[in-house]
Amino acid sequence: MSTNNPFKGNDNQDNSWMNYLGLGLQLAGTVTVMFFIGVWLDGKFKTEPVLTIVFSFLGVASGLYNFIRTVLK
């Protein structure tokens, strides 16, 4: 009697989807970190909401760039 271990790779099974599991979390994390950097800089330089918006867009752009670069690899 053999047991199937779902964590053990199988030669007949394509596990390439596992490489993409963390991409959504990485994208969300990049946007979140850049947003809070913008909020912090706005508080420091009293430029609300300019830097928050700029850094949020930079976070989205860099997160999407990394996402697309990884998917097309």
Task: Residue 3: count other Cβ atoms within 10 Å of its Cβ.
Answer: 5
State the greatest distance between any 2 C-alpha atoms of the chain, in Å, as a whole number.
69
Segment 37-66, tens digit of pLDDT: 999 999 999 999 999 999 999 999 999 999
- Which backbone phi and psi does 12 adopt, to 5 degrees? -85, -5
> What's the pLDDT score for residue 5?
61
pTM above 0.85, yes or no: no
48 DSSP 8-state letter: T
Give the integer Cα–Cα distance in Å for 19 and 68.
Answer: 13
